[in-house]
Amino acid sequence: MTALKPGVTKVAILGFGTVGSAVAKLLSAGYLPGLQLALVYNRDVARKRASAEARFAGPDVLWTDHFEDVLRSDADVIVELVGGGEPAGTWIEQALVAGKSVVTANKQLIAYRGPELARLAQANGVQLLHGAAVAGGVPVIPGMLQGLSGEAVTRVSGILNGTCNYILSRMERGDSYAEVLKDAQRLGYAESDPTADVGGFDARAKLCILARVAMHAELDPEQVPTQSIAAIDAIDFAYARELGCTIRQVSKAQQLSGDCMYARVAPMLVPLDSPMAWSQGTQNMVVSTGRFGGDVVFSGHGAGGNATAVAVVSDLLAVAQGARAVTLPVQPKGVTGDSVAPHYLRFIVDDKPGIVSAISGALSKVGANIDSLLQRRGYPKHRLPFVVTTEPTLNSIIAAAVDSIAAMDCMLEPPLALEMLVVDDKDEETA
């Protein structure tokens, strides 16, 4: 690794938004000797320089909207907080080739190009750290790279998107999806286009990073199936409570035999006694299951500038002090989203005789058995919500049955199918 300048490690920040300004605030707090903010890059830099947060940068910091100034500067470490694939990817490449270490919170870039960029960093004797890319200020990545590197991790599961957790935990208290999403956008938890969060794509990128770090498996994010939380309604939480559950967006990756792994991001019914059910607001939770040490749980706030800035500055300190993560070989793996689990199926129908028989027949036709039927009182017959739960069945079989049921004349909305989370430790013993 290229030796850093003795005494002081100079830092350049790319992107002076919520996280970038929080990083500057931490660096200016005076309790981190040896780290000095030297440069800030941002588009429309004059506006950022005039902002209230600019006071955290200090009077001697260079402000620029030209990336070439960053490469020519004497900054030792570049903090990339612009996000997205490009131009961030090209800028990180150029920084590594120029002999500058990089700290990033860019989960999409690390999910898709992490190994390639890591090899480039190694070839140029510098470091690429991304501890803030998953779970914000929760030290999941360094904890797995250092504390669990000797474990044979067989499964990683958890809540990886603070926005979805905020929405679902508010809906659990009775608020509507549309109302909570609007509040999440107002508070800065959700973007104006929330698709990446509610559609599962943000969590998918994080899950692929965790699979690489914890289980040394390289997954193509495009192969990992996702399911949106947007179709979930207040009635689903009422029925979930009757089943002793709540609803959370769950990300899960699990070792299978051969060259394939199970991976999926979807809203699921979670038992109320599960640690995932206890996670509220913007909290993230990751459960790592190992063959030798069992479960290890990481939990904390995963959204917000301050929490993410803590992870970024921790990476900066690691670079400044020459810390090196444990690296183990990573193997490409195929992905399946198919697993055997009980399912929750919610229908909204114009009630007519024979509906339950028709649904039962469609399930029976594909080999799925009904476990229970729930129907709450007080709803009009012309728009009646009711629920069927099934015995453990492959996701693909349930999907085929739901497609058939959706075509029935009585269906007023597409049926909602959610997996019911069950952890079977026996599977882990033979994984």
pLDDT digits (tens, 9 = 90+) for 274-312: 889 988 888 899 999 999 999 999 998 766 788 889 999
Are 265 and 149 within one domain? Answer: yes
Angle subtended by helix axes 201-215 and 107-123, to nearest 10:
40
Radius of gyration for the chain, computed over Cα atoms and rounded to the nearest angstrom: 24
Are 288 and 145 within one domain? Answer: yes
> Which residues span the domain enclosing 94?
9-129
CATH number where 92 lies: 3.40.50.720
Query: 196-252: per-residue pLDDT in tens?
Result: 999 999 999 999 999 999 999 999 999 999 999 999 999 999 999 999 999 999 999
How far, in Å, CA of 249 to CA of 202, rounded? 11
Contact 34, 10 (CB under 8 A): no
Query: Pairing between strand 77-80 and 101-104?
Result: parallel
Task: For residue 33, tell me if it sits in a domain.
Answer: yes
Predicted confidence band at 128 (pLDDT cuts at 50, 70, 90)? very high
Looking at residue 424, its pLDDT comes to 59
Strand order of the β-sheet with 35-41 is 62-64, 35-41, 9-14, 77-80, 101-104, 128-129
Are 146 and 274 within one domain? Answer: yes
Are 149 and 118 within one domain? Answer: no
Q: Which residues are marked as active site?
A: 206
Are 172 and 222 within one domain? Answer: yes
* 162 closest CA partner among 22, 18, 16, 308: 308
Q: Which of 75, 98, 129 is the last residue of a domain?
A: 129
> Partners of 346 in the beta sheet?
387, 416
Count, residues in the chain: 431
CATH number where 289 lies: 3.30.360.10
Are 22 and 125 within one domain? Answer: yes
Q: Which of 94, 129, 164 is the last residue of a domain?
A: 129
Number of domains within the chain? 3
> Partners of 390 in the beta sheet?
370
Are 75 and 171 within one domain? Answer: no
Are 89 and 113 within one domain? Answer: yes
Q: Pull the structure tokens for residue 87.
A: 């131009």
Are 166 and 290 within one domain? Answer: yes
